[in-house]
Amino acid sequence: MIQTESTPNPNSLKFLSEKIISAIGTEEFQKEKSKNLSNVFIKELLEFKGVELVLLSKNFLSVNKTEDVSWNELKPMVISHLNHYFENNNEPILKENKKKELNQNDDDETVKKIIDVLDTKIRPAVARDGGDIKFKSFVNGVVKVELQGSCSGCPSSLMTLKQGVQNLLKHYVKEVNSVEAV
């Protein structure tokens, strides 16, 4: 059974499943980059009128839509698409088949601390709102992150980034001076 939750972004909705949606962690897919996708489920979902972006996580996916389409129109289509997939497949939409990307500084202790705080303290909260946060780099006290899913384009994402993410990282990792979105 698929359930939905609203997110702080009015143009994003979170679809929760009892089944595993992604076995490879969180991945984001944008309509403008969908031409080369091999995953039929994601490609078809991005072809729905008004769907701009899809984020798949372990047990949810979030959809970002354009202003010209209503959730009353789009929500049943997404639920039906998900149900159809799981009626015909016993495996996650995203399966293990790609190598985990390594950050350039994975051996750096400060970077390890930053990633640990992101993974344990920040990512679960962001996921509750249908989004994700990915570490990109740490240079001269500045952490660069990428906000994905419901968080990308959300009116409150800058406040979340500065008041939430930046304050937590500065508290737990003394080398952090600021956080910026890429």
CA 93 to each of CA 19, 45, 71, 136: distance values in angstroms, whole numbers, following the listed order:
10, 12, 23, 25
**pLDDT at residue 77 above 70?**
yes
d(CA 148, CA 134): 8
Reported as a pLDDT band with limits 50, 70 and 90, residue 8 is confident
Task: Say what the pLDDT of residue 147 is.
Answer: 84
d(CA 21, CA 28): 13
Mean per-residue pLDDT of the chain: 87
What pTM, to 2 d.p., does this model score? 0.69
Residues contacting 97, CB < 8 A, separation 6+: 24
Encode pLDDT of 94-126 as tens digits: 987 644 444 444 458 999 999 999 988 888 888
| Helices 71-88, 40-47: inter-axial angle, 10-degree rounding | 160
Task: Say what the pLDDT of residue 141 is.
Answer: 92
DSSP-assigned states of every residue in 96-142: S-SPPPPPTTTT-HHHHHHHHHIIIIIHHHHHHTTEEEEEEEEETTE
Domains of the chain are 2-88 (3.30.1370.70), 109-181 (3.30.300.130)
**pLDDT at residue 14 above 90?**
yes
